[in-house]
Amino acid sequence: MIKDWTSGDIQKAIEQHETFALYLYTPMCGTCQVAAKMLSVVKEIRKGTAFAQTNVNYAQETVLQHQIESVPCLLLFKRGIMVKKLYAFQSVPYLNELISRHLGGNE
């Protein structure tokens, strides 16, 4: 299961220059439910990658700060800097390769 973060948790991780994948969703979004299942598989493959998620209904600061246009959305942060924003979650292999390319190999 991917841990839920608040806007405060997200800001703290950014300020501490952490590397992580942040999944943004809303509970009633059907596409978000499919994307969440895909990410849970990727999380199992990528044991060395930190994953978090947040419900955008309760994280308006994050939505505004990172100019989120729709959900589902995946933000990739490397050392506290957003390096990729993704809206199309094409497939598990695609997500795994994308995360590897932007955040580094699977330690």
Instruction: Read off the pLDDT of residues 41-65 as tens digits, 9 standing for 90 and up.
Output: 999 999 899 999 999 999 999 999 9
Rounded to two decimals, the pTM is 0.94
Closest to 82 in 3D by CA, of 71, 72, 73? 73
- Output the CA torsion sign for 59, 102, 95, 51: negative
Give the integer Cα–Cα distance in Å for 23 and 37. 12
Answer yes or no: are the C-beta atoms of 3 and 51 closer than 8 Å: yes
Percentage of residues in the chain with pLDDT exceeding 90?
Answer: 93
Containing 3, the helix (H) or strand (E) segment is: strand 3-4
Supply the pLDDT for residue 44. Answer: 94
Q: Which pLDDT band, with edges at 50, 70 and 90, does 107 fall under?
A: very low
Q: What is the rounded average pLDDT for all residues in the chain?
A: 95
Q: What confidence tier does 106 reach under pLDDT thresholds 50, 70, 90?
A: low
pLDDT band at 20 (very low <50, low <70, confident <90, very high): very high
Q: What is the pLDDT of residue 104?
A: 86
- The edge-to-edge listing of strands for the beta sheet with 73-78 is 3-4, 51-55, 20-25, 73-78, 81-86
